[in-house]
């Protein structure tokens, strides 16, 4: 059985992950993956934007670390990528980043629903109490829709992230994710099955089966990611993610090289 590529993993440069790319690659080989991709949190234009990403001056070092792993594990395909925050107004910066290295893909993620609040930040968990949960979900999907429309990204990351700490989506959330999926289908942007949700309070893969089933219906393609922040998390729960994808109708996922997409069965 061919396991899907694990396209979502971090490095210590983001200041909240452990293990060098070589160690992630070693674990990938041990569990039988044939392809992985590093997608650490991209630098912002201002290094003091927050404290959970590499500084801009470390970007070249990040690329070197990934190249090093590529050299040491020649039989494993290792892609060079970034998980890029989508915030309205950052589009030029994201284009700038895209031109700096020969990236294989960009994962576009919405963590910020305002310039100051990342909904998944455990340090800012109390902010949820000051907010109307419906409004958070609404703004989240508005931003996700803009990210999918922008064509700046190959993949949209963890497409129902607000559930991370157990804040469930509203009853009628199909009305929120429909425009997002329509935008992803139009722009040809994939979405990822991200197994990190199983390790969080929500205890679920991102995104929920309802969203995924509609994604399949609309022709949106998928990738798989563990969102590993430690070598032992590489490929974690991929059989669960594959089963979820199949239950939504999927038999194919996609892989990227130099931002070109191809489809493979899984
Ligand atoms: Zn993320
Ligand atoms: Zn991530």
Count CA atoms within 13 Å of residue 129 on its CB side: 3
Per the listing, tokens 């999907």 go with 141
Alpha carbon of 57 to those of 14, 47, 63, 101: distances in Å? 13, 9, 12, 14
Give the Å distance between the CA of 109 and the centre of ligand 1: 6
* Ligand 1 center–CA 41 separation, angstroms: 8
The pLDDT score that the predictor gives to residue 1 is 65
Cis ω for the linkage preceding 132 (within 30 of 0): no
Query: How many A from CA of 86 to the centre of ligand 1?
Result: 11
Q: How many A from CA of 10 to the centre of ligand 2?
A: 6
Enumerate the H helices of 87-208 as residue ranges: 91-98, 127-130, 133-149, 174-187
Q: Distance of alpha carbon 148 from its chain centroid, rounded?
A: 13
Say how many Å lie between the CA of residue 196 and the centre of ligand 2.
9
Helices (H) and strands (E) in the chain, counts: 8, 8
E runs forming strands in 42-95:
77-85
Q: How far apart are CA 191 and CA 206, in angstroms?
A: 10
- CA of 149 from ligand 2 middle (Å) equals 21
Length of the chain, in residues: 266
What's the pLDDT score for residue 2?
Answer: 81
User: By C-alpha distance, which of 111, 172, 179, 119 is closest to 148?
Assistant: 179
Q: Would you state the pLDDT for residue 219?
A: 98
Q: Are 162 and 136 in contact (CB under 8 A)?
A: yes
Determine the distance separating the centroid of ligand 1 and the alpha carbon of 122, expressed in angstroms: 13
Entry pTM: 0.98
Alpha carbon of 76 to ligand 1 centroid (Å): 24
pLDDT of residue 235: 98
Ligand 1 (ion): residues with CB under 5 Å are 109
Asked whether 39 and 82 are in contact (CB, 8 A), the reply is yes
pLDDT (tens, 9 = 90+) of the chain, 266 residues, equals: 689 999 999 999 999 999 999 999 999 999 999 999 999 999 999 999 999 999 999 999 999 999 999 999 999 999 999 999 999 999 999 999 999 999 999 999 999 999 999 999 999 999 999 999 999 999 999 999 999 999 999 999 999 999 999 999 999 999 999 999 999 999 999 999 999 999 999 999 999 999 999 999 999 999 999 999 999 999 999 999 999 999 999 999 999 999 999 999 99
Structure tokens at 221: 């393609």
């Amino acid at each position: 059985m061919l396991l899907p590529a694990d396209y979502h993993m971090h490095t210590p440069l983001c200041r909240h992950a452990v293990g060098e790319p070589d160690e992630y690659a070693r674990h990938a080989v041990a569990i039988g993956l044939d392809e992985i991709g590093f997608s650490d949190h991209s630098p912002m234009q201002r290094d003091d934007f927050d404290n959970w990403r590499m500084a801009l001056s470390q970007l070249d070092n990040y690329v070197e670390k990934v190249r090093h792993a590529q050299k040491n594990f020649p039989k494993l395909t290792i892609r060079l990528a970034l998980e890029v925050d989508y915030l309205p107004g950052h589009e030029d910066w994201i284009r700038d980043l895209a031109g700096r290295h020969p990236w294989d893909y960009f994962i576009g993620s919405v963590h910020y629903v305002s310039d100051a609040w990342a909904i998944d930040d455990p340090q800012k968990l109390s902010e949820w109490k000051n907010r109307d949960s419906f409004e958070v979900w609404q703004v989240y999907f508005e931003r996700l829709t803009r990210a999918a429309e922008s064509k700046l990204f190959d993949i949209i990351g963890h497409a129902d992230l607000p559930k991370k700490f157990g804040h469930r989506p509203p009853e009628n959330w199909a009305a929120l994710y429909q425009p997002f999926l329509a935008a992803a289908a139009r722009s040809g942007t994939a979405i990822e099955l991200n197994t990190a949700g199983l390790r969080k309070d929500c205890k679920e893969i991102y995104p929920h089966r309802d969203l995924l089933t509609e994604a399949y219906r609309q022709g949106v393609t998928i990738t798989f990611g563990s969102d590993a922040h430690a070598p032992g998390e590489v490929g974690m729960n991929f059989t669960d993610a594959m089963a979820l994808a199949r239950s939504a109708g999927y038999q194919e996922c996609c892989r990227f090289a130099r931002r070109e997409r191809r489809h493979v069965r899984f």
